[in-house]
Structures are given as C-alpha cells and as structure tokens.
C-alpha cells in the first residue's frame, strides 16, 4: 500500500507547538487548501498542556526557530507519545545540536519557510501512515523511517554509498 494523500485518507489532526508568525501563516494557508487536515496551534504550556494537545494529534510540527531548548523538550514528549515518524521539527535558523537531536531519533527536520505545495506534499506523505498508527495506536508493523531524519521536499534524498564520488558511467 502506498502513501495516500490526506484528501483520500481519514481526517488528520496536526498539533503545532511554539509556532511563530511565519509557521502559523504557512500552516493556515495549507489548512485552507485541504479538506481533510486540521491544525491546532498549542503553546507549550507545561507538561499537562503538551499531553492534552498530543492526545488527539496524528502529526506534530514543533517550531524551534525562536525557542530551540523549549522545542527540544516538547520534541522529547511528542516522540514518546506518538513515535518519531509522526513528529517533525521546523526551523528557519540553524541551532547547535538541533539537527543531531532530530536525526538521532529519526524524525523529520524541516528547514523553512516552505511553500504551500511543499506542505501539501509533506503531509500527504505522512497522513495515511500517521492515521493508521493513530487508530491502531502502536501498530504491529514498524512504520517506515524517514531517510536520515530530514526532508527536503522537491529534491531526492542523497543516498549513502561507499567508495568516493559517484560518477556517471562513460559510454566509451
């Protein structure tokens, strides 16, 4: 079974934590263009507030642009609650240790700002898998893992290989 776009799957609820103006605008535009996705913006107001917001969420987007240390705390709770595949960290700035933290857990690292089509593609990739996981809670089958923990939409991921630089075969 391939990944089904959100429009053809069940309703997908996205919990957005610590969302700054830029991310809020991007997610609101994405939400306006989809019929099956809903974004709930949540401030990281203590452990109980985070747990309450995660209770019904299928996917999580955490904005680490302005508050990377608080984002790391929310990230740990979200991964514990939903699993690494359903959690993504968004940032418009490079922060020491953030990329390592996200990649170590195998979650998604999004470098923004992203266009509407990039958000649509991102949520379409994850919607069906996260919806299945949410309804079965912790599925018997392992979820597919993001390649090296980050995504650059519209660009194929780099593949690991050994043996130096890969060059095209010559036709001679």
Mean of pLDDT over the chain = 75
Close Cβ partners of 6 (under 8 Å, ≥ 6 residues apart) = 12, 34, 36, 37, 123, 124, 127, 128
Report the CATH number at residue 97.
3.40.50.2300
Domain coverage including residue 20? 9-149
Order of all β-strands in the sheet with 108-111: 37-42, 12-17, 59-63, 87-91, 108-111
pLDDT band at 22 (very low <50, low <70, confident <90, very high): very high
Within a domain: 126 = yes
Within a domain: 63 = yes
Beta bridge partners of 17: 42, 62
Number of domains making up the chain: 1
Q: What is the pLDDT of residue 91?
A: 95
End-to-end alpha carbon distance in the chain: 41
What is the mean predicted confidence (pLDDT) over 48-72?
92
Main-chain dihedrals φ then ψ at residue 14, nearest 5 degrees: -110, 125
Within a domain: 160 = no
Within a domain: 172 = no
Within a domain: 114 = yes
Within a domain: 140 = yes
> What is the SS3 assignment for 11?
coil
| Contact call for residues 137 and 93 (beta carbons, < 8 A) | no
pLDDT band at 140 (very low <50, low <70, confident <90, very high): very low
| Contact call for residues 128 and 9 (beta carbons, < 8 A) | yes
H-state helical runs in 43-153: 46-54, 68-82, 98-105, 116-136
Length of the chain: 172
pLDDT digits (tens, 9 = 90+) for 32-57: 988 778 899 988 767 888 888 998 89
What is the mean predicted confidence (pLDDT) over 105-124?
89
Q: Whose structure tokens read 């019904």?
A: 56
pLDDT tops 50 at residue 151? no
Question: CA 163, CA 26: separation in Å to the nearest integer?
Answer: 41
Please state the pTM of the whole predicted model: 0.72
> What is the SS3 assignment for 154?
coil
Within a domain: 156 = no
């Amino acid at each position: 079974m391939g990944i089904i776009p959100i429009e053809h799957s069940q309703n997908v609820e996205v919990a957005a934590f610590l969302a700054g103006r830029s991310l809020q605008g991007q997610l609101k535009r994405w939400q306006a263009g989809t019929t099956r996705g809903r974004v709930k913006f949540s401030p990281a107001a203590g452990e109980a507030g985070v747990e309450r917001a995660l209770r019904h969420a299928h996917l999580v987007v955490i904005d680490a642009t302005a508050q990377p240390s608080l984002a790391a705390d929310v990230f740990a709770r979200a991964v514990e609650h939903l699993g690494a595949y359903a959690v993504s960290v968004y940032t418009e700035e490079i922060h020491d240790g953030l990329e390592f933290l996200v990649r170590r857990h195998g979650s998604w690292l999004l470098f923004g700002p992203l266009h509407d089509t990039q958000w649509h593609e991102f949520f379409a990739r994850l919607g069906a898998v996260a919806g299945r996981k949410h309804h079965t809670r912790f599925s018997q089958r392992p979820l597919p893992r993001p390649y090296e923990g980050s995504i650059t939409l519209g660009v194929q991921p780099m593949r690991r290989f050994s043996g130096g630089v890969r060059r095209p075969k010559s036709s001679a």
